[in-house]
Each structure stands twice: as C-alpha cells, then as structure tokens.
Homo-oligomer: A and B are copies of this chain.
Amino acid sequence: MKKQKFSIKDIATSLNISKTTVSFILNGKAKEKRISQPLVDKVLKFVEEVGYTPNQFAQSLRTGKTKILGLMVEDISNPFFAQIARNIEDRAYEAGYKIIYCSTENDKEKSKEFLQMFQRLGVDGYIITPTPELEEDIRPLVDSKANLILLDRNLNSLETDYVMVNNAESAYEGTKHLIRNGFRKISFITISSNQTQMTERKRGYEEAMNDHALQPLVHEVSFKKNYTDSVAELKAILNTAPEIDAILFGANYLGVAGLEAISELNMKIPEDLGVVSFDDNDLFRINKPSITAIAQPIEQISETAINRLIDQINSDQQDKNKNGLFLSTTLIPRESSQK
C-alpha cells in the first residue's frame, strides 16, 4: 500500500499551527471554535494544494463510524440480487457509504460467519437477506440497536425493519390469473426451504386454489442442488404428475430451470402447460412463447431498503419503530398463460 503523503500532523507542522486547529477547520468547526477566517482560508488552501485526504482508519478508530455498509444476499450472481446490489450501490455512494457484499447461498453457517465479519469490521449498517433460523444470530444486533434492515424476507420473531413484496397476495393473484384463464390443475413449485417469502407465496397460492374449490398441488425442488439437478428434478415432477395443466413457479431460477425441463420434455406452452413465474427477466420476456411473470419492483425495493437504512443511521434516536415495508408486485400477462 502506498504510504499517505500528508497527515494532519504534517499539515500542522508545515503551517506552524497545531493539528487541533487543522482538524477543527477540516471538520467545519471553525466558526464554532472561533478560528480566524484568515487562518481557515490558509489551511483550506494548503490542504487543497497538497491534496490531503484523511486516513479513514484513523477516523474510524476514533469516531467509531466506518462509512461501510454490509450487504448480505443469497447469491450476488442471481439477477434479482445483482440488480438490487446495483441499485443500492448508487444510493450508498451518493450518501458517502461503501459496500461490502457477501453471498450466503442460503447457508446458515456461512451467514453467521458473515454476520461476525460485518460486526468485527464495525459496519455502520446491515442489509440482510436472512436464511431461515438466523434469528438468534441477528438478535444481538437488534438488541444492540444496530442499524439493520432485512431484505426479501423477514424473521417473524425479530423487531426489525424489513422490505419485501406482498408475497401471499402476489401468489394469489398469479394463481387467480391462471384460474381465470381456464387452468385448473395448477401446481405451485417451490423449494425445500423455510424462507418466509417462499412460505408466503405458497400460502397465497393455496388460498387462491381453496377459494376456487381447487385442490392445491405443491411440489418442492431440493434447494442445494445445482442447476442441472434441478432441471432433472423438475422433469421428474412433470413426469410423475401428468395431470398438471399449469405451473406457478415460486422463483426466478425455478422458472428458468422449469422452462428448460418443459422444453426437454417437448411439452408445449401454453397448450400442454400454462406457466406463470415469480420475478421477471430477459428470458421470460423474449422467450417464444413469452412467460407471464410476477415482477418485483426491484428499484423500489432497493431504494426503500437503502433509504430506510440511511435514515436509521442518521437518526441516532431510539424512537425508530420497526416495521415491515411491503411493496407490490406487478403481474405481467404474457403468452404462457393464455390458453
């Protein structure tokens, strides 16, 4: 690492004044501390000339603030999270924060390690997509009034801010959309994990089916498998349950893998099988036939989360009443759900 040329001390000795004075001036406390204007000007000019920048570690050490946020997502290479990361980034830099990211792969142990890492580092705020059962590891943060916001899912027993979409209603609407379009044997495909967003979606689906006197048909794909295995599993599901006439995919990657499975089985969408999937992407939009999607408002999610977090940081009051912020999805009807 390149050594810093100028420290506050160097400036002070160069100008034959004390570093206290320099520090006050640099921190905009000149008025308050009654530093004379000529001296202020002189210091600022000099600082500008030598291109001084404060050592952020010394600052952090002294102030306890790091200007770093910790972003913990399930997988940064998942387009949904990648876009969130991108949007959060913009606003964070605008507000003077840097971002350290990590991907949990929905692994509790990994998540715990990352939490510890963030904590050791002393991040000023946490944006977290929690794995199931992470409550007890996050609780200490909540108890110590850390600035924290959960993303995409929540943990019921924790009093925190969280941002997510109205998953149950969205799934309900998606299911209703299929029913209205004439499908009856509609299956909901989810993953074998207790992530709250997935259980909510399942609940919404089941409610819609029940409300229309239809039998819910839930199928689970194991979580930890790789893509190829997931496709195989989906093919198996379709083979063993030929009565299914439509599918509601509970997530992005399930929809993608599902399309691949359907294609490999030479089934026709929407003739053989109606399809609606959570999340939207290039594939769903451009595919022939195009795929009906329940699109999450990614920008809005990101902005809500980061703005809320920065609010938390700036209001060091404890009057923050924690609550969930629910955003709405948009059902984008496309060819795959038109019988």
Contact = CB atoms under 8 A, between A and B. Distances in A.
Interface of A: 1-3, 53-58, 60-61, 64-66, 68, 75-79, 82-83, 85-86, 89, 93, 98-103, 116-117, 119-122, 124, 141, 144-146, 256, 259-260, 263, 281-283, 285-288
18 contacts: A1-B64, A1-B124, A3-B64, A54-B120, A57-B61, A57-B122, A58-B61, A77-B82, A77-B83, A77-B86, A89-B103, A98-B100, A100-B100, A259-B286, A260-B285, A263-B286, A281-B282, A288-B288
A75 B65 CA distance: 28
A102 B89 contact: yes
B53 A57 contact: no
A247 to B, nearest CB: 15
B61 A89 contact: no
Given A76-B76, A86-B77, A56 B119 contact: no
A253 to B, nearest CB: 9
10 closest A-B pairs (Cβ-Cβ)? A77-B86, A82-B82, A2-B144, A57-B60, A283-B283, A57-B61, A77-B83, A77-B82, A57-B57, A53-B120
**Which interface residue of A77, A141, A285 has the most chain B CB atoms within 10 A?**
A77
A76 B263 CA distance: 30
Contacts of A144: 2
Given A57-B57, A120-B53, A263 B288 contact: yes
Given A76-B85, A99-B101, A286-B283, A2 B119 contact: yes
A86 B58 CA distance: 31
